[in-house]
Amino acid sequence: MKTKYKIFYMFILLCFVTFAITGCTKEYPFPVINTSTDVKNVILIVGDGMGYNHIENAKTYYDMGTLAFEKDYVIGVDTSSKSLFTTDSAAAATALATGYNVKNGKIGMDGNKTLTNIMEIAKDNNKKTGIITTDNLYGATPAAFSSHAKDRDYTNNIIVDQYQSNVDLMIGEKSSKYQEYYQNFTSNGYSIYEDYNSLVSSNTNNKILANISNLRSIYNPNITGQVNLVDIVSFALDYLDNENGFVLMIECGHIDKCSHSKDIVGALSEVHTLIDVANKCYDFAQNRDDTAIIITADHETGGLKKANDKNDIKNSLYSKSSHTSSDVPLYVYNCSFTNVGEKVKNTFIFYIMKHIVTNI
């Protein structure tokens, strides 16, 4: 090969490597956050894998009109991570929980650096904290709000961090991985529940770890015996409500999983549950002026197209079985913004929560 071609190819390789290392993230200016100092509670609802068309298709499939939260639409969210490829739930959840853009696979860490998450900031500000997921509690999204791990697969590290996290309430799908740590949770002040009825009828003042079966959507026609997530959220709101305020993160985790397998009815049933949960939180917030609600997604999954009508709801609306880099929507109730630009980076959502939690 001629020297000048060698130099050219070396240059191209160097560009590629630089791009891979530094990532391709563009930063967008943050809007100015305007919130009444009366706002002391934050509820963050995350639809894992939920893009605009997941919501649109759920409205079509279930004959829903305009949703309560749609009037609070703010802007599209850039979900890209520090990795070259489309984000995963770990990097996206870390962006939401810590305000840092990190590489895929990281849980509350940037390289070897441990990042402070919003639940830790909330505890420092004397607020109660809660995490609810329809997936396992060691999954990437709840993990980023309650632990720090160099890799999302370091499940034991994540659970050890969680029993030391001081998060007041953690509710997720039943997993045997937690059982060997029950003693650690108990000695750190947690009451443990494995049964839905004993959880929702509980009036304990202890911290709560609940591993509950059957957290998939009650609207999925292919599975039976599911518990109603709205009742769990209702219990959590009662439990967390206090004069200093609280931060509650609720993840609907199976929109993503159903979308990976191009199961549109399954995915839309999970979106229906998210809408029910959002409506429950709006009922809670609209009776008072101290609660903000943020609804968003970590990323879009499936490249889902919009259906023309109900008959058009088919698995073939999915264009792929992986995550995409499409923007996801951001809806915020009881918090307003000025200087809203083209879109925001997902790290902005952390700063909305931090603004409320630290009251600045």
Scanning 98-106, 186-194, 249-257, 348-356 for contacts with Zn ion by CB under 5 A, the matching segment is 249-257
135 is a contact residue toward Zn ion (CB under 5 A): no
- The region of 21-29, 174-182, 189-197, 248-256 touching Zn ion under the rule CB under 5 A is 248-256
Residues β-bridged to residue 293: 43, 333
Given the structure tokens 């509650």, which residue do they identify? 248
155 vs 279, which CB is nearer to Zn ion? 155
**Chain center to CA of 48:** 6
Q: What is the C-alpha separation between 229 and 252, in angstroms, rounded?
A: 9
Separation in Å, CA 310 to CA 18, 64, 352: 47, 11, 36
Stretch near Zn ion under the rule CB under 5 A, chosen from 6-14, 39-47, 115-123, 253-261:
253-261
What sign does the dihedral 318-323-328-333 (CA atoms) show? Answer: positive
Pick 74 or 317: Cβ nearer Zn ion: 317
**Positions in 289-348 near Zn ion (CB under 5 A):** none
Rounded to whole angstroms, the Cα distance separating 207 from 185 reads 9
Neighbours of 333 (CB within 10 A): 20
Tell me the backbone φ, ψ of residue 172, rounded to 5 degrees. Answer: -150, 180
Q: Which residue is nearest to Zn ion (CB)?
A: 256
Q: Which helix (H) or strand (E) holds 317?
A: none
Say if residues 57 and 313 touch (Cβ distance below 8 Å). yes
256 near Zn ion, rule: CB under 5 A: yes
Question: By C-beta, is 135 or 256 nearer to Zn ion?
Answer: 256
Closer to Zn ion at the Cβ: 46 or 208? 46
Q: How many residues bind Zn ion (CB under 5 A)?
A: 1
State the Cα–Cα distance between residues 106 and 153, nearest whole angstrom.
9
Beta-bridge partner residues of 338: 32
Find the shortest distance in angstroms from Cβ 258 to Zn ion. 10
- C-beta of 197 vs 319, nearer to Zn ion: 319
Closest to Zn ion by CB, 122 vs 215, is 215
Element (H, E) at 32: strand 32-34
Site string for Zn ion, 200-239 (x = CB under 5 A): ----------------------------------------
CB of residue 49 to Zn ion, shortest distance in Å: 6
Q: Which is nearer to Zn ion, 198 or 321 (CB)?
A: 321
Could you tell me which stretch among 29-37, 110-118, 213-221, 255-263 binds Zn ion (CB under 5 A)? 255-263
Nearer to Zn ion, 183 or 321 (CB): 321
Instruction: In angstroms, give the least distance from the CB of 92 to Zn ion.
Output: 10
Helix/strand/coil percentages in the chain, nearest 5: 40, 20, 40
For residue 90, the minimal CB distance to Zn ion (Å) is 10
User: Pairing relation of β-strands 73-78 and 344-345?
Assistant: parallel
Select from 55-63, 189-197, 203-211, 254-262 the region that touches Zn ion (CB under 5 A): 254-262
CB of 257 to Zn ion, least distance (A): 7
10 Å Cβ neighbour count for 310?
Answer: 11
Interface contacts to Zn ion, rule CB under 5 A: 256
